[in-house]
Chains A and B, each alone.
Chain A
């Protein structure tokens, strides 16, 4: 008890400021607010953590330049730990900045491989698009067994570019088989003309449209394409979000068929997940928990554990990073470890979701 108290006192004296960045007033404020709920759940489950961690919210407006400007302010304030960001391009910018300024960045939700490639000070608590893209390609080729694919890529998004690239790479197993065709159309969201895509769909007549964009932007394209050809199956990555947001945006089209991957599902029965779901529902009046909140929760718990594990008065970005890489974390989707010495990306399972005939269903949890 004495040691615990002494430990707690030490922590009190060495409270760590954490900047939480998200586009609260950006292109997808709903997701931003959702992932921040993970922080609330974390402090609800670990109330003592407030003595060790102080979290300040920053609104990036989903703009890279704004994100970098905020990072400058954070740096000037002396904050060394950055958490958040649900957009891969912003996450890459943050990663680049923190690695150049001796800071630590923990992203719960950014799956683009480039995020962690900027340096050792960046950690993610989700899988990468490499894994996600391969899973989706495998589902398309082996489960759905479709031959004609139209890949619509938001060229301004690294997330979309890389996920498209990995997905198309996975489709190469069909190369040479009769009827196999892949067509790519790159669009700029600022100059999006759905009519062009609709015409392309009419002309190409794809069986599957791969749409690796965030759900708010993907929804408008999916709606237009679906109205053109209702037989088309849509596939996407974790940008389609959790169940709640998906059903709110795309779930209204009852005859829509969608297969997409996500990071988390409420259905997982492990203790940590049960504790998270229970606390989340308690905090947010029986709202359905989301993968974003769960990943943020996992991230905050990981940060908390690492800070607690750090020797007395030895906090630094590099020490924290080293500590994170040493530890194994118990997350909502199971244990997590940064085992790759060159990339701080964990090996985590992919949850495959299907939406068909108005039914939202966890088809499979695919282990890496």
Chain B
């Protein structure tokens, strides 16, 4: 299909309408002439009938006595020469044999038809032939024949008049058409072209400004189009901003991944030194080991963040997510941030609280919590800064509560929070982009949740994120029913062994610090009699804890105990293998029966 402009389409339709108008005018023209003709014919007939009615007796008498002069006198003076729109062409009188007695024309009478009709013959058309039988003394004495022809002068006069009328109508139509086209150009085409040019501009800001300027256009549809464009531009702007954020995050993630990767080699070297350096006192060694662990955790955090960012950029999966677990992760991060500030972050999450699952995008959820914590951190000042994070549960909901004792938010700002990009920063200064609460609000909307903000200036702010509660995933376990079973612990972190050992003092525990050891040991025992507490990542080994557990047929007593519990890939694999999963932080608190 060829593309055409509105103007050309309208012109095309106008031509079609023009043809219809011409046809209608022509029909009107012809119809009017037919009407006039018909009226004129009726008038002429009527007049001729009336004339004959009045003069018939005299004609009969004069014809009977052969007084042609008298007949001529009647015809000449009494019958008006102009009969309506018909002009009398000839009036003739014939005797009973059809012989013409009077009349100048060459008209012939069809006596046969007259005798058949036995009275009067009217032949109508552009020529009227009116024949009346003069009957006298029971005998037909003769005929008077009147011939009238249509007055062509009249036709011309009316044609001219009709032409003028039709011309006037057509002229009026032309004026209306021009006015219509002008209106269409002004009201429709011009705004569309302007809109097109505006949209064609490169800069979104400029487009938005122009659209605001052009928002008042008279055509509702175009006005609506402006509104749609504005919404579209707003959406594009949001997406563009989001894309920029994603790019920034990805870039940051790449750097973080690189840092995490690069730091592992020297960290491994440090760990080797640590293992071989028996001269260091236990306290110092523990400290160094703790530092190394911490550095590893930081590296892991960087990797986690990297994974989060990548996922954030490329995915938006909603899954059953542990609210407590996510908060624990974020809180660990924030501890590092708060080390230089005198702010206390309270976030004691138990295994029960870890078991409060909600259906959200976990990465987004962590991001929201992180942003909200950042807000609180920024809001808190002074030597007694405090941020409390709590998880509350009810039958249907899980509520994350973040409460700080910061400066609070003014009422007028509070009303706008979550509606547009606005924030209230520390020390009363504007800070950040202000999208934290807005993002949280959108996230809550998407998650079918509610965001409640209570704040009082000088007292602090309390945020409540209320989510619908969902069932925990199959990998979740709230306590380990050891019963009479023995336990095997596979972890490259000796402190983990120690902590388990402290909790399972009366149990017979088999310890492995690397997967190879475990895998060598595995065939020698009946593993169904053991609870396997397996780490995921082993230092210096490419074999993961999941690889090891996959070697076991009956994995009903297998638990992956790892700090990487939040990894989506890990969670997917433990579900596939029907393995339970426990975050390593709960080694000391998970109930064991």
Contacts and interface: CB of A to CB of B under 8 A. Distances in A.
Main secondary structure on A side of the interface with B: helix
B67 A186 contact: no
Interface stretch (B56-64, B370-378, B569-577): B56-64
B69 A155 contact: yes
Given A186-B73, A191-B77, A68 B67 contact: no
A89 B57 contact: no
A71 B65 CA distance: 15
Contacts of B138: 72
B66 A158 contact: yes
Contacts of A167: none
Interface in B29-78: 57-58, 60-62, 64-67, 69-70, 72-74, 77
Interface in A87-115: 89-90, 92-93, 96-97, 100, 114
Contact of B65 (A93, A153, A186, A188): A93
Contacts of B74: 188
Interface residues of A, number: 23
A194 interface: no
Given A65-B60, A97-B137, A92 B73 contact: no
A86 to B, nearest CB: 15
Most buried by A among B60, B67, B138: B67
A97 B66 CA distance: 13
A322 interface: no
A159 to B, nearest CB: 10
Contacts of A96: 64-65
Contact of A68 (B58, B70, B77, B136): B136
A153 B69 CA distance: 10
A224 B427 CA distance: 135
B483 to A, nearest CB: 147
Given A89-B65, A93-B64, A97-B137, A65 B70 contact: no
A153 to B, nearest CB: 7
B60 A155 contact: no
B64 A156 contact: no
Most A C-beta atoms less than 10 A away, residue of B60, B62, B137 = B137
Contacts of A272: none
A64 B64 contact: yes
A157 interface: yes
A114 B66 CA distance: 8
A158 B61 CA distance: 12
A216 interface: no
B500 to A, nearest CB: 148
B137 A188 contact: no
Nearest to A155: B73
A161 B102 CA distance: 15
Nearest to B138: A72
A157 B67 CA distance: 7
B62 A156 contact: yes
Contacts of A72: 137-138
Nearest to B60: A65
Nearest to B70: A156
Interface string B127-162: 000000000111100000000000000000000000
Interface string A178-206: 00000000101001000000000000000
B70 A155 contact: yes
Q: Which of A63, A71, A156, A191 has the most CB of B within 10 A?
A: A156
Contact of A161 (B57, B61, B69, B137): B69
A161 B136 CA distance: 23
Contact of A157 (B58, B70, B72, B77): B70
Contacts of B69: 153, 155-156, 158, 161, 186
B61 A65 contact: yes
Contacts of A191: 77
Given A68-B136, A68-B137, A71-B137, A156 B73 contact: yes
B57 A65 contact: yes
Nearest to A190: B58
A95 to B, nearest CB: 9
A156 B60 contact: no
A149 B138 CA distance: 43
A92 B66 contact: yes
Contact of B72 (A63, A71, A92, A155): A155
9 contacts: A63-B61, A64-B61, A68-B136, A71-B137, A72-B137, A92-B65, A114-B65, A157-B70, A161-B70
Given A92-B65, A93-B65, A155-B70, 19 more contacts: A63-B61, A64-B64, A65-B57, A65-B60, A93-B61, A96-B64, A100-B139, A114-B66, A153-B69, A155-B72, A156-B58, A156-B70, A157-B67, A158-B65, A158-B67, A161-B67, A161-B69, A188-B77, A191-B77
